[in-house]
């Protein structure tokens, strides 16, 4: 049976990689509406809906934006 899971994330993303391991959904990378903050790694507990986002360091943010 499916049910809706309410999750609070800073930014929505698309074109990311995703994997489910046990009760955890992992999201990696992708694209969001905030170019200055590219998506990193997100860990979502599928039981509780708790989400934690980890930034992936960008060597040169100005290079990323151009």
Mean pLDDT per 10-residue segment, the chain (66 residues):
76 86 92 75 91 80 53
Looking at residue 13, its pLDDT comes to 81
Sheet holding 17-21, edge to edge: 17-21, 24-28, 41-45, 51-54
Looking at residue 22, its pLDDT comes to 97
CB contact at 8 A, 31 and 40: no
Alpha-carbon dihedral of residues 35, 36, 42, 48, nearest 10 degrees? Answer: -90
Looking at residue 10, its pLDDT comes to 67
């Amino acid at each position: 049976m499916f049910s809706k899971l309410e999750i609070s994330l800073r930014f929505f993303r698309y074109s990311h990689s995703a994997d489910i391991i046990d009760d955890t959904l992992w999201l990696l990378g992708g694209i969001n509406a905030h170019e200055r903050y590219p998506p990193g790694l997100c860990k979502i507990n599928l039981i509780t809906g708790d989400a934690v986002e980890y930034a992936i360091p960008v060597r040169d943010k100005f290079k990323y934006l151009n």
